[in-house]
A and B are shown apart, each in its own frame.
Chain A
Amino acid sequence: MAKKTYEKPTIIKVESSHSKAGVPMPKQKIRKKIGGVAIDEMVERFGSPLFIFDEKAIREKYRSAYEAFSSRYPNVQFGWSYKTNYLKAVCAVFHQEGAIAEVVSEFEYEKARELGIEGKDIIYNGPYKPYDSLVTAAKEGAKIHIDTFDEINDLEKVADELGFEIPVAIRLNMDTGIYPQWSRFGFNIESGQAMDAVKRIKAGGKLRLTGLHAHIGTFMLDANAYKVETTKMVRLMNEVEEKVGFTIEYIDVGGGFASKNHLRGIYQPPEVVVPTIDDYAEAITSALYENIRGNSYPKLYLETGRHLIDEAGYLVTSVVASKTLPDSRRSYIVDAGVNLLYTYFWYKFNIELTREVSGISEPAMINGPLCMNIDVIDESILLPRLRRGDKLVISPVGAYNVTQWMQFIRYRPRVLMVTEEGNVELIREREELSDIEKREILPDKLKLK
């Protein structure tokens, strides 16, 4: 006789605070495929946990962002923000689509060069650029964005050393009406510091100012802040051209567009609070048209990171154990934790199952495998009783996680990309002991065997 389908025993006290618990879940969130490929099959082949990127989703996102801007202001160029996700395969997709590279350290600079990006197609940002890296960047014709007066001095030395005038841009900060204001980077517009920097560069006679750059923040929910930013930048450009005589070839408005992720502490869903790419594009390009004088239209650069990649990335994790906690909540222990999900500190993720599970839902928390009390992926979620091996699909996790993840307690897992054609490519191998031990040196006198 065929056995009945097992449902784990579940009992829920009917309480007003948990009023949604104890009833069949109205609609379980299920995701069986990514990029058309079954998630269960990928886990079977490559193990768990797994990061999975959807190539088609990345390209579609990029194209719609490019379209939103180029249809309004044709002279536009995206620079892929490496820090957001510098897996080679991910960067290569953006470069194939036409993006140049935006880097903020010599490490990221080397990574872009290694991938085949020429110096002239690299934007070099960041508050600390080692001297040697400035020499390389200047020689290779990178777009160097100056952050401080000290860096002006460094670059003038580089110009002497190399024997030519170096084209540069300066980074700006300003009040765009948002809080907190990112005032740590670059030169302030309102105080006159930015104009001082321009004059200082002019007086030195060794550098040529060709661009203005700013990055006003990240996950910006107010598109109007970009209108303010762009307006202030164009007005500064006009003033610089008139009073100092530099010709500004480009304006780089940075990154910061939000993704459809759910910020902690915000009640409305991202569909309601997150501006569309057209909102951002309209804010920026309208400010350009309203403030540019004459008929030289500078190139518009964008360093969009999160918005372009977040929703194309998933983390699949498996239930390894479960238990009842003293407060009667259920805890699921899964094989991926906050070591892999840096953005946990900002987001309440979308969590989906790969199969329908029958039964009543109960309040649960999802805990990672670290021996740390803070290893909580979701503190309060209603889930039917899951069994060992059941999978949870966590998203959007494409931005900042595979760069800010930690090798802490556990190895970092494999990363896959599902291609446009529906093939599954391994784009990063799982770590093993030798990856970590390779960098360690045990003094002879401490050798145990």
Chain B
Amino acid sequence: MRIENLAVNKNGFAFDPTSGETFTLNETAKEIIEDLARGVEEKEIAKKLSEEYDVTQEEAMNDVLDFKEKLKLYGLLS
């Protein structure tokens, strides 16, 4: 799980020291990465998002799954 090593800065840039690659990301993406790195369950992440933002838990859950897919394709998650 390389997301643990991602260096995420305040301006929405992330640097992966393993590959030297850079990413841009938004606030919700940042929160999900932090939660995943701490081992928080997908369902729990979706619940937290729906409490903080104007989004249903169902929509947030789909987004978390979709986001994990993207992280895998980028080699940031196995």
Q: Which of A13, A23, A387 has the most CB of B within 10 A?
A: A13
Contact of A13 with B29 in the complex, beta carbons under 8 Å: no
Bound together, the chains give a CA A12 to CA B44 distance in angstroms of 24
With contacts A4-B52, A4-B54 taken as known, whether A13 is within 8 angstroms of B69 at the C-beta atoms is: no
Chain B CB within 8 A of A192 CB: no
Residues of A within 8 A of B63 (CB): 8-9
Q: Which of A91-99, A166-174, A321-329, A410-418 contacts B (4 or more CB under 8 A)?
A: A321-329
| Contact mask for chain A residues 289-333; partner B; CB cutoff 8 A; 1 contact, 0 none | 000000000000000000000000000000000111011100000
Contact of B66 with A11 in the complex, beta carbons under 8 Å: no
Bound together, the chains give a CA A323 to CA B62 distance in angstroms of 9
Contact of B53 with A11 in the complex, beta carbons under 8 Å: no
Measured between C-beta atoms, what is the minimum distance from B17 to chain A in Å?
15
How many residues from B make CB contacts under 8 Å with A? 31
Bound together, the chains give a CA A4 to CA B63 distance in angstroms of 17
Contact of B22 with A9 in the complex, beta carbons under 8 Å: no
- How big is chain A's contact interface, by range? 20 to 34
Measured between C-beta atoms, what is the minimum distance from B10 to chain A in Å?
15
Measured between C-beta atoms, what is the minimum distance from B7 to chain A in Å?
14
Q: Interface residues of B: mostly helix, strand, loop or mixed?
A: helix
Q: Which one of A3, A322, A324 contacts B73 once the chains associate, using CB atoms below 8 Å?
A: A324
Residues of A within 8 A of B55 (CB): 6
Q: Which one of B14, B26, B74 contacts A9 once the chains associate, using CB atoms below 8 Å?
A: B26
Chain B CB within 8 A of A10 CB: yes
Chain A CB within 8 A of B41 CB: no
- For this complex, 22 residue pairs linking A to B, each with C-beta atoms less than 8 Å apart, are A4-B52, A9-B28, A9-B32, A9-B67, A10-B29, A11-B23, A11-B71, A11-B74, A12-B24, A12-B25, A13-B74, A14-B21, A14-B22, A14-B24, A323-B66, A323-B69, A324-B69, A328-B73, A359-B26, A360-B12, A360-B24, A387-B59
Binding site for A on B (CB under 8 A): 12, 14, 21-29, 31-33, 49, 51-55, 59-60, 63-64, 66-67, 69-71, 73-74
Nearest 3 CB-CB pairings of A with B: A22-B24, A6-B53, A9-B29
4 additional A-B pairs beyond A5-B53, A11-B24, A323-B66, beta carbons within 8 Å, are: A6-B49, A9-B26, A324-B73, A327-B73
